[in-house]
Structure 1
């Protein structure tokens, strides 16, 4: 992601949407050429270079909202506003949105240009905000990170992170002592940003990044994390179960509250009983321990 504009002019597109639709809309905005995104409550603010295509982009956003309304019926009328960004230095302006933050009792996430949480003695992850999902600010990512602190793993444990995005979960796994880590994402751009963040944390060579489909992997892991949508999780569950060691841990996130029971039933069909479930607002995350192979 290169934060430059040939004209030097930028526009802020502000969209009001329920939190459940933020991830889908964020991906769509980056596909449209968005080069920065801020989420403030129910409001998404996307930043694009000024161009003659802005009216067309606004209309495409409206059409996309109409499409996802079938999945998220609670979405009301679209509220979309465009405003110029008064700045001559976009990269410096962008940085003001990201600050060091304590995201779990044991972890502070900080951008590389800012000192970690004041007086902090726990773990620190440096993250360069990019188009990849997962910088620690979203509830689903926070719940995954917290779940990783709750599971008990023997020395020499291994980890598979599915849909790694920014790489934050894999990085935390490395900092918590994982001996072997594989991080998967089907988006090459996400993997490039994950690689950058891995390097920022001095972990180059510690985490294997791959675009290989999860179904094609053939090794087993002590911990598997997946911060994805419900449909993707359910589709991949047979592979998840196969890739877990007996007594391995499965952490799932990206679920809405009313989707937990569907995932519980799918886990049962694969021979697993859902363990603890955690909620943050309308989001849910689960921790399940595999007992034995089917």
Structure 2
């Protein structure tokens, strides 16, 4: 089978909504080429994990790439993707240059090329994430290993928003906590929660592919008995008293379920959010405080922001 690589030159802010658009149109093998990755000190905190070619990266913005089967519907699919991306402007999302190109790629390249971007990476004091195809020996006995199979739809959990989320979980989650993961994607935050001491994690995602991915990765890490994943629109009709709610999704979506997060948290429970671009930080802060949350910490990595908020007692 022949495949077409679609490459979208866009902004960091638009990565997640464009990724979602690509998933919904059946694209596979999502790859994000961000020039900031070339500047990271990989030989310190994160470890030296990437072999990147600067010539493959844009001078500014990012490339989001995915793969589409070459068939009679290809033209229609590409037009659908273009229209959906253009519509992001309505939601005040900066799509940058929005240059979209197509190139043909053979099946062997499609199946293996994207894997070069994913290597074992230490993302916090305790946690290292490894893709299933990589061999890895823990550096010490306290290291917590998460094994991930991103399939052809999700990353392995090394994006700054995921790193911020896991670092917050590591710092605040208590042994025996019950966790809700909203917008679970690959399930990495649910897995991290249980490995850090949560007794159970409830993972929700509107995308059925994400639900299947969460279940697969929970099983890979032998945690399927502690992680429940199901399809759901945010926290609609969810009635679970959790000690921690964690969500790594867009700021525009976070503000839509802050009230439901409050209702599903136990007293003194924590709401950990990430996926927030710098210019949307104040919007989320204002909405959280309006609902009664006490902001206890704000963390930043590159242009991304994570908020840790507490359901303050009456």
Above 0.5 in TM-score? yes
1:30-69 Cα deviation digits (max 9, x unpaired): 2222121100110111112222333333333332332223
Deviation at 1:212, TM superposition (A): 4.5
Match of 1:260 in 2: 281
Aligned partners of 2:118 and 2:156 also within 8 Å: no
| Structure 2, unaligned runs of 5 or more | 35-61
Match of 1:165 in 2: 185
Identify if the C-alpha distance between structure 1 residues 72 and 235 changes in structure 2 by more than 3 Å, giving closer, same or farther. closer
Q: Residue 292 of structure 2: SS of its match in structure 1?
A: coil
Asked if 1:101 is matched to 2:94, the reply is: no
Structure 2 residue aligned with 1:22, among 2, 7, 15? 15
Match of 1:191 in 2: 211
Q: Residue 276 of structure 2: SS of its match in structure 1?
A: strand
Match of 1:5 in 2: none
Match of 2:231 in 1: 211
Aligned residues: 285
Identify if the C-alpha distance between structure 1 residues 43 and 207 changes in structure 2 by more than 3 Å, giving closer, same or farther. same
Structure 2 residue aligned with 1:156, among 173, 176, 191? 176
Aligned partners of 1:134 and 1:141 also within 8 Å: no
Structure 2 residue aligned with 1:33, among 26, 29, 34? 26
Q: Residue 194 of structure 1: SS of its match in structure 2?
A: helix
Match of 2:89 in 1: 69
Identify if the C-alpha distance between structure 1 residues 108 and 249 changes in structure 2 by more than 3 Å, giving closer, same or farther. same
Deviation at 1:117, TM superposition (A): 6.3
Aligned partners of 1:108 and 1:116 also within 8 Å: no
Aligned partners of 1:134 and 1:167 also within 8 Å: no
CA distance in 1, matches of 2:13, 2:270: 26
Query: After alignment, is 89-98 or 198-207 more displaced?
Result: 89-98
Deviation at 1:151, TM superposition (A): 0.8
CA distance in 1, matches of 2:96, 2:189: 33
Runs of 4+ in 1 over 6 A off after TM superposition: none
Asked if 1:145 is matched to 2:162, the reply is: no
Identify if the C-alpha distance between structure 1 residues 120 and 68 changes in structure 2 by more than 3 Å, giving closer, same or farther. farther
Aligned partners of 2:249 and 2:274 also within 8 Å: yes
Q: Residue 36 of structure 1: SS of its match in structure 2?
A: strand
CA distance in 2, matches of 1:57, 1:186: 21
Deviation at 1:195, TM superposition (A): 0.3
Asked if 1:114 is matched to 2:134, the reply is: yes
Deviation at 1:152, TM superposition (A): 5.0
Deviation at 1:229, TM superposition (A): 2.0
Identify if the C-alpha distance between structure 1 residues 134 and 284 changes in structure 2 by more than 3 Å, giving closer, same or farther. farther
1:54-100 Cα deviation digits (max 9, x unpaired): 33333333323322234356434432222222453643444333222
TM-score, L = length of structure 1: 0.88
TM-score, L = length of structure 2: 0.83
1:193-239 Cα deviation digits (max 9, x unpaired): 11000000011211112235524222311111011222322221111
Deviation at 1:21, TM superposition (A): 0.5
Deviation at 1:120, TM superposition (A): 5.7
Asked if 1:230 is matched to 2:223, the reply is: no
CA distance in 2, matches of 1:225, 1:73: 23
CA distance in 2, matches of 1:198, 1:282: 30
Identify if the C-alpha distance between structure 1 residues 77 and 262 changes in structure 2 by more than 3 Å, giving closer, same or farther. closer
Q: Residue 199 of structure 1: SS of its match in structure 2?
A: helix
